[in-house]
Structure 1
């Protein structure tokens, strides 16, 4: 039995801790904040409740496997998991609006044909069929196996597996195939292009630079569905924490790790703020690249993609509304920006013309049909989110900027919630600066899932490091960000520790 110190109590960290405890190890989790869950937080006020992190779960099989492998209670017996149908509504500046059914290829085709025009559904379906080839080619090396060292493995993952339809003609360009180029060439219609690119934007990916393999994101959602935890997604974090406690994982909150201890070049424990030392045989770090560099400089230097620009963050507005939720309202509606080019420039480009708040963003409106989120049926809890530039690129502590941007989200959301401002009781705002404070992630940046292609530019650091006995989990490590991917990272770390460096991945 080994002593294992885990830095952080986010989803990836807890997923690793639960699996390691079941394998017989003594696991202690050290969290700088006062609670578990990392970015999967909750805001409760006056009978209203809001998720401050992810609002939906995709690939629930990851957590089903985790709960099966760590105890008698299944995921479904630990939380009430429900499918969201329709999966999403979409509203565009020209007035086009449609809802896409959950996990129904034929239903999506019909909805797009009716709203966009004959043939639109088939073009979308053909693209999703090609994205399935991405899934088949990358599922195991990207999502079920640890990231292998060596040029051969990285060269393979650096190639984009998307079978893009090539242009014809003498002057065909040889520019890299990006998600944006695929969207324009294969979907034609600007609304379909926006639909595809919105999936990337929601994960903090720039469609102008992301490889065509990012088409796997809508494929996953359309194939495996969108799921919600009754009472709020925070319930998933609570259930995972409870599973860890049941497996005798020790949690220490308000316990900030300031250094990974080493002995004879190997990880040997952690040092806490105030000088306390906790010895361990191995250490799992589920932290951002900046924190890792401070905690273990010898590890960070040798990691691929451990640096780079800070990813975009999330701007959220939580609205307490008078009046009930109308029957048939979609759980999630995306209100698309009228000028996507301006939005992408403000979110991703270094030369931001508008100072980071003057454009009209793409807004995701979450309206769960959940009595646990509101005081009674005469009220409604609504969450608005937008992907934005990280704190630092924009000063999100500037109250004027934050207030103005919140007003823009609210104005845009009225396309999905008519009369929203007249129904408003109160609102609260969370910016990337708040995320940075809460999680410690530089700029409040939220990591995206890993993608194949672009010569490996969209990979994350592997789960092992140059310091023996130090492992990486969570969204800033392989296989990247998102609830499902965080759970996968925990499985990979546990596999490497329990079975050794020869572990070949989940079975």
Structure 2
């Protein structure tokens, strides 16, 4: 039995902790805040409750596998997962609207043809077939296996783009923006594509063509909601850890990783406490450097950790509404800004654009005080705190007003129904997760402009990393996968090659 210390109680860290405890190790988690879940948080007030992190789940099989491998009770016995149908409603800049059924390619094709005109559905359906090819080529190396030592091969574009003739040249799409213009050939279909990228904190203007896998995952595996909010999934994972005898220490800030005889030996906490451990599962690689001063954790041949503030964050607006939710209201609506493919670039350049806003209206009595009220969450992807000043109240208020105005295109009369609103910016994300500037990690993507995250093991023996800033990157499902990979590497050693 090894002593394993885990830094942080995020979803990836807890997924690793539960698996390691089942393998017979003594596991203790040290979390600097007072709760678990990382970015999967809940805000409560006056009988209203809101998910302030992810509002929906794709690839629920990741967490089903976690619960199968760590105990007798399956996930569905602890959390009620329901498919959201329609999976999403989309309100485009020209006023066109379409609702897309959950996990039905034929249904999506028919809905797009009816809303956008004959041929639109077929173009989107053909795009999904190409996206499936990219998924098949990258699924194992990007999600299910430890990062390959020859990771450079993953920078080859896996998306089978359609040849595009322009003047005397034939080109293939290398970015999402080029897929939208050259293959989808309809600004509304292009916006539909860009909206999926924005939801993951990926800039559509620079994202590689391989980001086509993001809408494919939703269409292929469905979109799911946990009754009581996605925070219930975090609760279930935490409670599974506790039942597997994982120790949790909250309010315990780690200030150093100890080293002895060339390998990890434990942790030092901010109050001076020394924790002995044979193995340490760390936090984001960028921040981990500060805990191991004077040592390089990644070599020249490894994927270098990006500075966290190079990535994007989120503004989340929690709205407490008077009046009941309409019976035909859709769980998620995406309201597009005038330039979704460029809105993040415009933001950074100083001209704050009208944002693309995701409007979540769960039909869940657990989130409202009674049937005469409704809780709604608005989310927009934005530059993080080091690229835009989210500490100024006037900046926050102005941007929040824009988000509410956009959401009113999906929910007429919204402003008149607001009892109060709570705004969460990248400032809150930094406070809750420790990520520099409140950035949110994107998923790993192949291709020349894709983002790969550092491997789950480091150059210091006994030190591993789990969570969104490590392989395979950000996203609720990806965090669960990182936990599985870390547990496999610790239990089986460097020969571990992922689940078969």
- Alignment partner for residue 486 of structure 1, among 468, 476, 479? 479
1:225 maps to what in 2?
A: 222
1:99 alignment partner in structure 2: 99
Instruction: Map 1:430-445 to 2 at 5 A.
Output: 430-445=424-439
Measure the CA separation in 2 of the matches of 1:378 and 1:176.
Answer: 49
Deviation at 1:328, TM superposition (A): 1.5
The correspondence of residues 221-260 of structure 1 with structure 2, limited to 5 A, is 221-260=218-257
1:268 to 239, 244, 265: 265
Structure 1 residue aligned with 2:312: 312
Task: Quote the residue 1:425 is aligned against.
Answer: 419
| 2:121 matched residue in structure 1 | 121
Is 2:142 the counterpart of 1:142? Answer: yes
Tell me, which stretches of 5 or more residues in structure 2 are unaligned?
none
Q: How does 1:280-359 map to 2 (within 5 A)?
A: 280-285=277-282, 287-297=283-293, 298-302=295-299, 303-308=302-307, 309-340=309-340, 343-347=343-347, 349=348, 352-354=349-351, 358-359=352-353
Separation (CA, whole Å) in 2 of partners of 1:299 and 1:319: 45
- Measure, in 2, the Cα distance between the counterparts of 1:290 and 1:398: 27
- CA distance 1:75–1:299, shift in 2 (3 Å): farther
Q: Which residue in the other structure is 1:471 paired with?
A: 464
Is contact 1:146–1:463 with CA below 8 Å preserved after alignment? yes
Structure 1 consecutive aligned stretches of length 4 or more whose deviation exceeds 3 Å: 173-176, 299-303
1:130 equivalent in structure 2: 130
Which residue does the alignment assign to 1:77?
77
Q: Tell me, which stretches of 5 or more residues in structure 1 are unaligned?
A: none
Query: 1:172-183 to 2 correspondence within 5 Å?
Result: 172=169, 177-183=174-180
Give the Cα–Cα distance (whole angstroms) in 1 for the partners of residues 436 and 58 of structure 2: 26
Q: Of 400, 404, 414, which aligns to 2:408?
A: 414
Distance in 2, Cα, partners of 1:31 & 1:171: 59
TM superposition shift of 1:345: 1.4
* Aligned mates of 2:421, 2:374 — CA distance in 1: 12
Report the TM-score, using the length of structure 1 for normalisation.
Answer: 0.96
Query: Cα deviation per residue 1:8-37 (whole Å; 9 max; x = unaligned)?
Result: 100000000000000000000000000000
1:370 aligned onto 2:364: yes
Q: Which residue of 1 aligns with 2:211?
A: 214
Q: Distance in 2 between matches of 1:420 and 1:257?
A: 44
| Distance in structure 1 (CA, Å) of the matches to 2:155 and 2:297 | 21
User: Displacement of 1:138 after TM fit?
Assistant: 0.9
Offset of residue 173 of structure 1 = 6.1
1:108 aligns with 2:108: yes
Partners of 1:408 and 1:209 in 2: CA distance: 25
SS of corresponding position for 2:165: coil
- What residue in structure 1 maps to residue 187 of structure 2? 190
SS in 1 for 2:146: coil
* Offset, 1:305: 3.0
Secondary structure, in 3 states, of the residue corresponding to 1:318? strand
Superposed CA offset, 1:372-422 (max 9, x none)? 000011100000000000002111010010011111101110011110111
Q: Structure 1 residue 176: deviation in Å?
A: 6.8
- The whole-number CA distance in structure 2 between the counterparts of 1:176 and 1:280 is 49
Give 1:175 shift. Answer: 8.0
1:461 corresponds to: 454
Measured at CA, do residues 260 and 370 of structure 1 come closer, stay the same or move farther in structure 2, by a change above 3 Å? same
Moved more, 175-184 or 237-246: 175-184
SS at match of 1:137: helix
After superposition, residues 36-47 of structure 1 pair within 5 angstroms as: 36-47=36-47
1:89 aligns with 2:89: yes
Contact between 2:161 and 2:173, CA under 8 Å: does it hold in 1? no
Shift of 1:300: 4.0
Alignment deviations for residues 24-70 of structure 1 (CA, whole Å, 9 cap, x no partner): 00000000000000000000100100001000000000000000000
Q: Deviations over 1:119-140 (max 9, x none)?
A: 0000000000011111111111
**Match of 2:31?**
31
CA RMSD of aligned residues (A): 1.3
Shift of 1:265: 1.6
Where 1:321 maps in the other structure, the secondary structure is strand
Q: For 1:379, which of 373, 391, 400 is the aligned residue?
A: 373
Distance 1:477 1:214, change over 3 A: same
* Residues 288, 442 of structure 1: 8 Å contact kept: no
Return the offset for 1:342.
Answer: 5.0
Name the count of aligned residue pairs.
496
Q: What is the distance in 2 between the residues matched to 1:384 and 1:306?
A: 30
